[in-house]
Structures are given as C-alpha cells and as structure tokens.
A and B are shown apart, each in its own frame.
Chain A
Amino acid sequence: MSVAIVAALLAATVAARPQAADLDAGRLKAERCASCHGAGGNATIAGTPSLAGQSAWFTHWALIKFRDGRRKDPRMSPFAAGLSDADIADLAAYYATLAPRPRPQSVDAAKAAAGQRLAVSHHCTSCHRPDLSGQDQVPRLAGQDLEYLLRQLHAYRAGTAGDLEGLMTMAARPLSHADIENLAHYMAGLTPVP
C-alpha cells in the first residue's frame, strides 16, 4: 500500500549531482530553521531537538528520511519536502560545527539514576558511545530535549520513527513506559559534549 502511495506521489526524479557541503550556504539556509531549533542550533522550545554539534551524517540522514517520507512530523515533513540534496548537505555540515549547550530543563534524579543503568543494560552506549555523545550516523543524546527523547523512544518502540536498519526498533521494543521515562531523564540530564 505504501508503495502505491509513494509511486503515485512520485514522478520519477532525476538524481541531483552530488557535491561537497558549503558551510556558508548552510549558515544562511539555517536561518529558516532557527525559529524552532534556536539560534546556533540550540533549541529552547520543549519538544524540539537541538541540532548543534550533531554529527553531519546524523542530521543528513534525518533530513533525507523526512524528505522521502520514512520519518514524519507535521512541522518537519513539509519543510524537508522542499530541500535539495545540496540544502541537506549544507545544513548538516553547518549544524555539526556548532557548540551544543545545556537545555533549560530539569530532570528527575531518581529516574536519571535508573536510566543510567538501563543505558548500559540495553546497550545504548555501544552505538551512542559511553558518554552518549554519538558518532557518525548515531545521534548525540546527552543533553537533548526531554520531551523529544520521550517522543522518539516511543516512536521507535511503535516502529514509526523511520529506522534506517531496524537497530533502534529492536532496541526500543523491550522498553516499558517506565524504562523510556527513566532513559529520557538520564539522557536529558547529561551535559552535552560536542
């Protein structure tokens, strides 16, 4: 069914020529993003992720998934639909150069302590690194927005997050609501490191 929809929406597109990212162009293009994702990529609106210091590969993949419909969000999907390959490359490269800052949010210490143990027993640290700073296509979780982390973990568990290879869906499936709550408080409470 989804194939039929995609095919119906899709007049075949000619793939754009690949090209290297342009940081200056990324800075200009990101002005449109700042009203939600914050100046300098550090968002303050609850539910909106910070992008500063995320690896370029992660942001790039996220925008591709929004654009081709594998990941859906009422605000991001229409925005991403209009991005060219060059826009995506420029934005991803630009956000990777920015310094992440702590978010104005407070976390529950008991939940965070439980979440710290879950992050090890559920192997979050084996891809996201021990300090949850992320790498390559794997996002930084440390210091990310609490509400966003909760929403994404629930979406992965429900299989609606647009998982690349299914790894996060498998990781999230065994999590209870309480586990997700605890993990999100732990991740949100960490100091973001680039």
Chain B
Amino acid sequence: MRRITLTSFALALGVVLAWAKPAPAQQAPPVWKQGQPAEQANSALAPVPLPPTPTPAKDIHVDAMTLPPGFTISVWADGLHNARQMARGSRGTLFVGSRVAGNVYAVVDRGGRREVKVIAKGLAQPSGVAFKDGALYVAEIPRLLKYENIEANLDSPPDPKVVYEFPKDAHHNWRFLLWGPDGKLYFNMGAPCNICMPPDTHANISRVNPDGTGFEYYARGVRNSTGADFHPVTRELYFVSHGRDWMGDDIPHDTLHHAPRPGLHFGYPYCHQGDIVDPEFGRGRSCSEFAPPLLKLGPHVAPIGTRFYTGDLFPPQYRNRLFIAQKGSWNRSEKIGYRVMTVELKAGQPPQYEVFADGFQQGGKVLGRPTHIEWTPDGSMLLSDDYNGAIYHITYKR
C-alpha cells in the first residue's frame, strides 16, 4: 500500500513538474549501467576503478593469497601499469599488454633482476599479445599490429604493420590473442553493451590468418570472452565468457564453454548460463536452441586468463588441468572472484571445479586482480594483476 501511495505521489509530482518545465529526454546511460532496471537506479555498484599508477612490490599483499601446500607466490615484476595478457618471445622476453594504460611492455630477465621496458604507448587498450616467428602481435581495439624482429629491437621498436582492422566499438572489445592449432590467430569481439541485440560483427570469437587474410567467425552468441585455450590433447577450443549485469547478485553465472567445431551459438543475448532466458531478448526463445555451457563459474566472478597446464613442475594431477584466473566482481553486493580456479576435464565425467589461489579481496577490499596466466619454461606460473600492475610467480616445491 505504502509503495502504491508513494508511486502515485511521484507520478502526480512528475505531472506537475512536467507541466511546469519540459524535462529533457532521458539519454542512454553509461555503458556499464546499460540494462539496469529502474528499481536499481540508486545502486551504488560500479566497476572497480583502476589506480592510475602501479603498486610498488613492497606494498602488494601477495602474502594474502592462499595456495595449495607446496606452492609459493612472489612478486616477479612490478611497474607494469595495468598489466594484462602475456606472451613469451623465443629469446625469453615476456611481452605484456595493458588496457587503459595504453602501453605494451617487454620484461627482460637479467639474472634474477627484471627490467621492464615500455615498447609501445598511447595505443587504444592494447590488451592482447601473441608471439610467433620473431614477431610480436598486439591487439588494440581498432587494429591488429605486428612488430617484426622485435626481440632484436627492444630499445628501438620497429614501426608496426597493421595486419587487420577490427570494428571500432570500444566496449567489451579489449581483446585476447590465441594461436590455434591451425596456425590462425583467435580473438574475441564482444557485445558492445551489457545487454542488447548485437550487430552481426560482435558477440563472437573469430579467427584470422597471421597476415590478416581469411577472417572467419568461429563461435557466436558469446557476450564477452576474455580468455581461451586449446586443449593440449584434443586440440579443441575452450573459452570463458562474462554473463550480463544487473540481473541480481546471484544470476547469471559467468561460464566456461567448449567449442569443438566452428559455427556453434552460445546463447547471447537470448539465453544466459544455459538455463535463464533473458527477460527482454529471450521472449519466445528457449535455451535448448543454443550450445550449453560446460560449467557455471559463479555469478560476476569475471573469468579472464584461461590456460591448460602442460608443464612437469606442478604435481601430476594438475597436468592438462584448466586454470582460470578471475579478476573479480563489481556488479554484486558482496565481492566474489579475485582468485584462480582449476577445472579438471575428464571424458564422460562432470568437470571438477576447485580453488587454486584465493584471497585477493578481503572484506570487500580489493588487494589485486588476478588477470592473465603464462607458463615459464620450467613449468611454473606467471600471473598478471591489472590492478597492481604487477606479475606474480607461482611455483611448486615438493
């Protein structure tokens, strides 16, 4: 009753105000607020703001991260503002992309001391990096760039070649790069919104030849994939995707998907987490029309770095297990994520989902965001953190 009275009063007041002065037409909200229902208009939830500067190693609470017995974590390199995807050069250089910092870094290991060089700056969210045949590939929002013979020229990087031009929409189009077993580069083209009917060019994972020819869509109906890998044995694609926002704290889940062949549709914007039809775009549609997720990862956890373990250093049960870094939630009353999970995939069995590294948010305070994963030649893990601008080393000793 009270609610009705208030609503009636608000309506009456609205009519009076509208009569007194014409109100300007309501404009589109900022992208992160798009799709927010009216009853949540006063929500205080907003994306976690990124510090303008990297955190010095001594101020990073790396000891807050809990790990299974025998594993240790340390800061491997700091001063890489907004560090995102990593790729290893054939001479051992670690290349690191970033988003809003606009930088691409090269980390050179000089006998235990890491030197961080900025090899490109002022790019448009150059989050994706990949390396092959001496060349560094960088995916910024509008372009795929190629820096040839990069490791011989770290102090005077060559002008990049523009290999491919992507659609220019920024939102959800900071990219990862991944080499496929077919020699093609795979990347994400996210939905340019929280929830909308995306144009045909978006909400997918696609691939292109390294020379920019042969573009193809590979997986469709993918809202915002930020990480993927090919299974070391089956060579089939597994990828993660972020679910939509503003449906509540506990739905929908972010998801892990299996795309054994091209052309599958994974549901966006009609169906979320395999079993929730979208309240607006799902009308008249059924989740059974789409390829279901392999695993629900948790609501708003923000899965990102996604890599199968193929090394020999970690205990044998980790071999071929999928590691998923989760940079953590913003669209949820209580924070969740800020951890690294593993998924055991065995034919004919449900996936086993376990915590590997946890503790980068405590009582709602963000201590760091585990972002991307790269393996070292000895089989240990490098984990980037785009909040602290650092790279951690996680290793194992019996």
CA distance A174 to B24 in the complex (A): 12
**A12-B156, A166-B171 known; A64 vs B389 contact (CB < 8 Å):** no
Contacts of B28 in A (CB 8 A): 170, 174
Interface: A68 (CB within 8 A): yes
> Does A151 count as interface, using CB distance less than 8 angstroms?
no
User: With A15-B79, A89-B53, A170-B31 known to touch, is A7 a contact of B160 (CB < 8 Å)?
Assistant: yes
Interchain nearest-CB distance for A118 vs B (Å): 5
Counting chain B CB atoms within 10 Å of each CB, the highest count among A2, A85, A122, A166 belongs to A166
Q: Does A20 lie within 8 Å of B59, measured CB to CB?
A: yes
Cβ proximity bits B47-68 to A, threshold 8 Å, 1 near / 0 not: 0011111111001000000000
B29 touches A123 (CB 8 A): yes
- Taking a contact as CB atoms under 8 Å apart, the answer to whether A15 and B33 are in contact is no
Q: How far is the CA of A69 from the CA of B143 in the complex (A)?
A: 19
Which one of B119-127, B216-224, B352-360 is at the interface?
Answer: B119-127
Query: In the complex the two chains form, what is the Cα distance from A82 to B154 in whole Å?
Result: 22
- The complex places the Cα of A138 from the Cα of B46 at a distance, in Å, of 12
Contacts of B80 in A (CB 8 A): 15
Alpha-carbon gap, A16 to B54, bound state (A): 10
Interface residue ranges of A55-80 to B (CB < 8 Å): 56-57, 60-61, 64, 68-70
The closest CB in chain A to the CB of B118 belongs to: A13
Say whether chain B's binding surface is mostly helix, strand, loop, or mixed. loop
B97 CB, min distance to chain A CBs, angstroms: 14
Check: A17 CB closer than 8 A to any chain B CB: yes
Chain B residue with the shortest CB-CB distance to A13: B118
- Give 1 or 0 for each of A109-145: 1 = CB within 8 Å of chain B CB: 0000010011001110011000000011110000000
Q: Contact: A167 with B56, CB < 8 Å?
A: no
- Chain B residues positioned under 8 Å from A70 (CB to CB): 102, 122
Whether A11 contacts B156 by the Cβ 8 Å rule is yes
CA distance A149 to B60 in the complex (A): 37
Choose among B26, B101, B158 the residue that contacts A121 (Cβ–Cβ < 8 A).
Answer: B26
Given contacts A15-B80, A85-B53, contact A10 B23 (CB under 8 A): no
Number of interchain pairs (Cβ within 8 Å): 123
Q: Smallest CB–CB gap between B165 and chain A, Å?
A: 12
Interface contact A126-B121, CB-CB below 8 Å: no
Bin chain A's interface residue count: 35 or more
CB closest chain-A residue, reference B126: A3
Are B117's CB and A137's CB within 8 A?
Answer: no
Tell whether B27 is near chain A: CB-to-CB under 8 Å.
yes
CA distance in complex: A15, B105 (Å): 9
B31 touches A3 (CB 8 A): no
Do A60 and B53 touch across chains, with their CB atoms under 8 A apart? yes
Question: Is B155 located at the chain interface by the 8 A CB criterion?
Answer: yes
Q: B135: CB under 8 A from chain A?
A: no
Kindly state whether residue B313 has any CB partner on chain A within 8 Å.
no
Minimal beta-carbon separation of A114 from chain B (angstroms): 8
Interface centre among B55, B106, B143, B156, by most A CB within 10 Å?
B156
Min CB gap B243→A, angstroms: 20
Task: Assess the A123–B122 pair: CB atoms within 8 A.
Answer: no
**Residues of chain B within 8 A of A88, CB atoms compared:** 53
Interface residues of B in 71-88 (CB under 8 A from A): 78-81
Contact check, B121 vs A68: say whether CB atoms are below 8 A apart.
yes
Which of these, A12, A92, A137, A170, contacts B155 with CB under 8 Å? A12
Check B119–A137 contact: CB distance below 8 A.
no
Q: A117-B23, A164-B100, A170-B31 are in contact. Are A14 and B49 (CB under 8 A)?
A: no
B159 contacts the other chain (Cβ, under 8 Å)? yes
CA distance A97 to B88 in the complex (A): 43
* A14 proximity list for chain B (CB < 8 A): 115-118
Instruction: Tell me if B89 is interfacial: C-beta within 8 Å of chain A.
Output: no
Q: Which residue of B lies closest to A70 (CB)?
A: B122
Q: Chain A residues near B389 (CB, 8 Å)?
A: 18
Q: Which 9 pairs across A and B sit closest by C-beta, in order of nearness?
A: A60-B52, A136-B49, A166-B170, A15-B116, A121-B24, A18-B56, A18-B54, A61-B52, A15-B79
**18 further A-B pairs in the complex, CB-CB below 8 A; given A3-B159, A60-B53, A166-B171:** A7-B157, A7-B160, A11-B155, A14-B116, A15-B81, A18-B78, A57-B49, A60-B52, A68-B121, A89-B53, A122-B27, A123-B29, A123-B30, A137-B50, A170-B28, A171-B27, A171-B30, A174-B27
| CB<8 Å pairs between A and B, sample of 21 | A3-B145, A7-B158, A10-B118, A10-B157, A13-B117, A15-B105, A15-B117, A18-B56, A57-B51, A68-B121, A89-B53, A92-B52, A118-B24, A121-B23, A121-B24, A126-B30, A127-B30, A138-B49, A166-B171, A171-B30, A174-B27
